Amino acid sequence: MASFNKVVLLGNVTRDPELRYISNGTAVTEIGLAVNDRRKTASGEWVEETTFVDVTLWGRTAEIAGEYVTKGAPLMIEGRLKLDTWEKDGKKNSKLRVVGEKMVLLGSKGEGSRGGGQSRPARAPAGGRPPAAGGEDYSQSEPDYDGGQPSGGVAADDDIPF
């Protein structure tokens, strides 16, 4: 049987990213994302529901998030679900999280948490520094577990269809 694991989230960052580096030098950061849903109940009343999602970013994407993403900023994350399990004090714990493989900054520089941005995401330039306008797209995958370099990353200009 085939399987498919893809998540796309659009929300606001709940806390400033905390960038750290693992033993092989790969950057990693954890961010929280608040995703709002508004729906009508059977009685016709509008209800707002917020879902808080933990997202892990790796490599250059993590570094860019650490430098440019702040609490309240609108952000789009594309990635996959991953179930983390651990044991603490004899009790088994688990947590479902998103491993971000693609990040799009939606607000323009200096715009903060007001949102906006452009409708078409732009790829990061070869130097990795985002331009001043919003809608930047930074992609990076989780590193290989054998300590190798992360796969994925920023696409070359030849890969961009526009």
Digit-coded pLDDT (tens) for 36-73: 999 988 999 999 999 999 999 999 999 999 999 999 99
DSSP one-letter string for 70-96? -TT-EEEEEEEEEEEEEEETTEEEEEE
Per DSSP, 14 falls in state -
Query: Which secondary structure element, helix H or strand E, spans residue 105, and what is its range?
Result: strand 91-105
Structure tokens at 131: 């331009």
Q: What is the CB-side half-sphere exposure of residue 74 using CA atoms within 13 A?
A: 18
What's the rounded Cα separation, in Å, for the pair 51 and 67?
25
Interior angle at CA 118, CA 113 and CA 120, nearest 5: 130
Distance CA 83, CA 40 (A): 31
pTM over 0.85: no
Write out the two tokens for 74: 């609108």
**Residue given tokens 């085939």 in the structure block:** 2
Q: Taking a C-beta distance cutoff of 8 angstroms, is the pair 105, 135 a contact? A: yes
Q: Measured between alpha carbons, how far is 124 from 91 in angstroms, rounded to an integer?
A: 43
pLDDT of residue 140: 53
Confidence (pLDDT) at 107: 76
Q: Which two tokens stand for residue 141?
A: 């995958």
- SS percent in the chain: helix, strand, coil, step 5: 10, 45, 45
Structural domains of the chain ordered from first start: 7-159 (2.40.50.140)
Residue numbers of the chain with a pLDDT score lower than 70: 108-162
